[in-house]
């Protein structure tokens, strides 16, 4: 099956630092990738849609200057949490759309900001 | 406004019995639906999908039923196994309208008792 690799799986950082999360589609090209955030016992909240070669589309309430998304190639999208604060601590998950139909998810990144 | 709803946050079923997970949606533009299974601290894994042109799709122990008039879909797992214990998310998208955004429900935690 399709594989989406997300790295790192866990990161702990100090408040004020920036953290980059990578999402790679390993065996297919993904023109569209999505970034989600999940709080404990809650649903996957879509943060933004990342399209290769163009600017990401952010959902309402998501600060684009805080969550920088880059989709520079058909197999890689990155999410950078800039100037992270404790309230940014969460589980971040990426997904890649294959064939315009199915979503395949990365394994997620647990971000803890101290 | 929650466009995709899973009204049961949790469900317990005896091993070998049927598990039925329900999902309701409000947007009539949705035409493609998926079910995902998620373990803690992992990304969701795809289970089964259904297009709005069908009312049933079966894959092994998993069957998804779609009732378009009621804007309701359900996932049946027969027979249920302890390894099925996880959180199940339904998701919907409107491919015909040109959007590939997937809207997720809040999830149902299934516990299969041995």
pLDDT of residue B100: 67
Q: Do B46 and A104 touch (CB under 8 A)?
A: yes
pLDDT above 60: residue B39:
yes
Residue A72 vs residue B75, higher pLDDT: B75
How does residue B1 score in pLDDT terms, banded at 50, 70 and 90?
A: low
pLDDT of residue B41: 78
CA-closest candidate to residue A49, choices A25, A84, A77, A80: A77
Please give the share of chain A, as a percent, with pLDDT higher than 90. 61
Give the alpha-carbon dihedral of A4, A110, B101, B68, to 10 degrees: 100
Give yes or no for a cis peptide into A8 (omega within 30° of 0): yes
CA-closest candidate to residue A92, choices A35, A14, A23: A35
How does residue A18 score in pLDDT terms, banded at 50, 70 and 90?
A: very high
Q: In this structure, how many other beta carbons lie within 10 angstroms of the beta carbon of residue B91?
A: 24
Mutation site, A43, A47, A93, A108, interface B, largest B CB count within 10 A: A43
Which whole number is the average pLDDT over A75-91?
Answer: 95
Mutation site, A38, A103, A110, A112, interface B, largest B CB count within 10 A: A103
Of A32, A93, A100, the CB nearest to B43: A93
pLDDT above 60: residue B97:
no
Residue A12 vs residue B94, higher pLDDT: A12
Least confident of A5-14, A39-48, B27-36, B46-55: A39-48
Of A4, A44, A102, the CB nearest to B104: A44
Q: Where are the alpha helices (DSSP H) in chain A?
A: none
- What would you report as the CA-atom Rg of chain B, rounded to the nearest whole angstrom? 14
User: Is residue A74 within 8 Å of A31, Cβ to Cβ?
Assistant: yes
User: Is residue A83 within 8 Å of B20, Cβ to Cβ?
Assistant: no
Q: Does B11 touch chain A (CB under 8 A)?
A: no
Q: Do B89 and A44 touch (CB under 8 A)?
A: yes
Which whole number is the average pLDDT over B2-11?
Answer: 90
Q: Which residue of A has its CA nearest to B86?
A: A41
CA distance B44 to B38: 4
pLDDT of residue A2: 63
**Chain B: closest CA distance from residue A17 (Å):** 23
**Chain B: closest CA distance from residue A56 (Å):** 13
Least confident of A14-23, A78-87, B95-104: B95-104
How does residue B95 score in pLDDT terms, banded at 50, 70 and 90?
A: low
Q: Which residue of A has its CA nearest to B49?
A: A102
CA distance B82 to B34: 22
Which whole number is the average pLDDT over B103-110?
Answer: 90
CA distance A104 to A95: 5
CB neighbour class for A38 (10 Å; exposed up to 12, middle 13-18, buried from 19): buried
pLDDT of residue A52: 84
CA distance A93 to A108: 4
Please give the share of chain A, as a percent, with pLDDT higher than 70. 96
**Beta strand spans in chain B (E):** 4-5, 10-14, 19-25, 32-38, 45-51, 56-59, 62-67, 72-77, 86-93, 103-104, 108-113
């Amino acid at each position: 099956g399709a594989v989406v690799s997300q790295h790192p799986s866990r990161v702990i950082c100090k408040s004020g630092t920036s953290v980059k999360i990578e999402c790679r589609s390993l065996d297919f090209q993904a023109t569209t990738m999505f970034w989600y955030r999940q709080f404990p016992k809650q649903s996957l909240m879509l943060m933004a849609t990342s399209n290769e070669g163009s600017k990401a589309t952010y959902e309402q309430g998501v600060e684009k200057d805080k969550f920088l998304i880059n989709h520079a190639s058909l197999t890689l999208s990155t999410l950078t949490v800039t100037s992270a604060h404790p309230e940014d601590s969460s589980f971040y998950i990426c997904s890649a759309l294959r064939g315009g139909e199915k979503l395949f998810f990365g394994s997620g990144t647990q971000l803890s900001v101290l | 406004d929650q466009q995709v709803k899973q009204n049961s946050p949790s469900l317990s079923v005896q091993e070998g019995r049927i598990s039925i997970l329900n999902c309701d949606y409000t947007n009539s533009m949705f035409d493609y639906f998926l079910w995902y299974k998620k373990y803690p601290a992992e990304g969701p894994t795809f289970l089964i999908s259904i297009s709005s042109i069908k009312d049933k799709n079966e894959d092994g122990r998993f069957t998804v039923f779609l009732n378009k008039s009621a804007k309701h879909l359900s996932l049946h797992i027969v027979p249920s196994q302890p390894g099925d214990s996880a959180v199940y998310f339904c998701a919907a998208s409107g491919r015909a309208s040109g959007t590939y955004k997937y809207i997720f429900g809040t999830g149902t935690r299934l516990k299969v008792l041995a």
